[in-house]
Amino acid sequence: MISESGLEELNFVLIPLLAASHIIPMVDMAKLLAQRGVTVTLVMTPLNAIRFTAGIDRAIGPGFLMRVLELQFPAKEAGLPEGCESADVLPALAFRRNFFAAIDMLQDEAENLLQEMKPKPSCIICDKHIAWTAETADKFQIPRIIFDGMSCFTQLCMHNLHIMKDQNEIPESGPFVIPDLPDRIEVTKAQLPGAFNPGTLCIQDIRDKIRAAETRAYGVVINTFEELEPRYVDEFRKLKDGRLWCIGPLSLCNNDNLDKSQRGNKASFDKEDRLKKWLDSWQPESVVYACLGSLGRITIEQFVELALGLEASGCPFILVIKAGEGQAPIEDWISENGFEQRTNGRGFLIRGWAPQLLILSHPAVGGFLTHCGWNSTLEGIAAGVPMITWPLFSDQFLNERFLVHVLKTGASVGSQGVMHLGEEEKPEVQVNKEEVTKAIEEVMEKEKEGNDRRKKAKELGQIAKKTLESDGSSHLSLTLLIKEIQEFQLNKSFPGITN
């Protein structure tokens, strides 16, 4: 058990990468920590703070010490357009290097504010991509714990792939098996993240700096639960000398419908009301929810295949259309093709932000067509919903392997290669409508294979919900993390941080 004495002196400083998919789980983590009686300080920039204020304000109740520290984002100094404070609103791929330069510029202001902070910082939990926090933790002589939005399965895959890369053992073409894993996992180089399969924008120097800082971390927190991937948790914990805390699914800290609908952004009440009524009109497990994430961009050609594949499946569906760059040609096609009129009643289109947790938790939803980002993957798992997998980039193909080959709760549309941001039109990554329809039918069918997926997905969803309860594995893991920092604070020891 955690000793109550000294809890009020603990201050966990959380520093997320400025991107919606990275901030959202960190805000959830902040809520869980605040509920356990420690002070939590979230470090963000003004526009990101505004975006997440509703959910944070709702979480701050009596005895909850949770606050937001705002840093001024140096957009102009880094050569970014004004207002570009988040990776998901960058106007073009070419600005990625500028964005990371702006992140680096936040260090001095952050350290000045930490110096004046009360209670003093007890530890930093930061996104692994913010490399300067390694120096900051050393200056303040506090533990730096990194948060990387990937599963232990993917972490272990990446570790072994780095060994292969260092030994020049990743083949240029054709499938190969990632070695030394509990399961046989076969991939191609074209399906690997940018560290092993770089795009045209060269940011290897940034990746190297991030990886070097990662090796200096005191420990790692993971948005997963031990029962989901026990063999991978055990192996990854060994690599981290035991300093690994699995505290997910973080999304389950959002208990009521308002929490779920406001997580990450706020949809209009009119949209939510219409969406709920529409979902209520369908039979249980009959609706397909299709969303390819906040960062993913697909071409108009690929959107057409997705839309027509959903239509041909015969299932009622929700289709999320990403706002911003690329939306105009999609809207033109919808209008000219008559797609919205043709599927009226059976299809529900959401433009912009979708209340994903609210949708996935509705009993009418029976399948989730996803890009396999880990946030969405784990949200689908926690909701007990089987998945149709369409990975786009980063770790998403590895997450697909986990769903399809390890958990056996997913069916793939057959995407063959990473679509690096800004390079989405490469012909070898095209998926056609027939493949989309086939994967949907595999997941939604009521015959043995479809039922097996559904049964396994429901079982995992039930286990997930228990992990954050008082006797659950993730609740215990969070207790152990707080206790570790509490003991560190009392003893003022500083092992393993700068070596």
- Tell me which residue has tokens 């046989």: 184
Q: How far apart are CA 169 and CA 402, in angstroms?
A: 22
Pairing mode, strands 176-177 and 186-187:
antiparallel
Q: How far apart are CA 306 and CA 288, in angstroms?
A: 12
Give counts: helices (H), strands (E), the chain.
Answer: 19, 15
pLDDT at 93: 72
Pairing mode, strands 317-321 and 287-291:
parallel
pLDDT at 266: 56
Structure tokens at 271: 């949209």
Residue 271, classed as helix, strand or coil, is: helix
pLDDT at 497: 46
Q: Is the bond preceding residue 495 a cis peptide, omega within 30 degrees?
A: no
Q: Domains of the chain by range and CATH?
A: 7-248+468-491 (3.40.50.2000), 268-464 (3.40.50.2000)
Which regions of the chain are under pLDDT 70?
Answer: 1-6, 8, 55, 58-63, 256-270, 325, 420-429, 493-499
pTM: 0.93
Of 94, 98, 91, 114, which Cα lies nearest the Cα of 14? 114
pLDDT at 479: 97
Q: How far apart are CA 59 and CA 202, in angstroms?
A: 40
Q: Is the bond preceding residue 119 a cis peptide, omega within 30 degrees?
A: yes
Structure tokens at 207: 């990746």
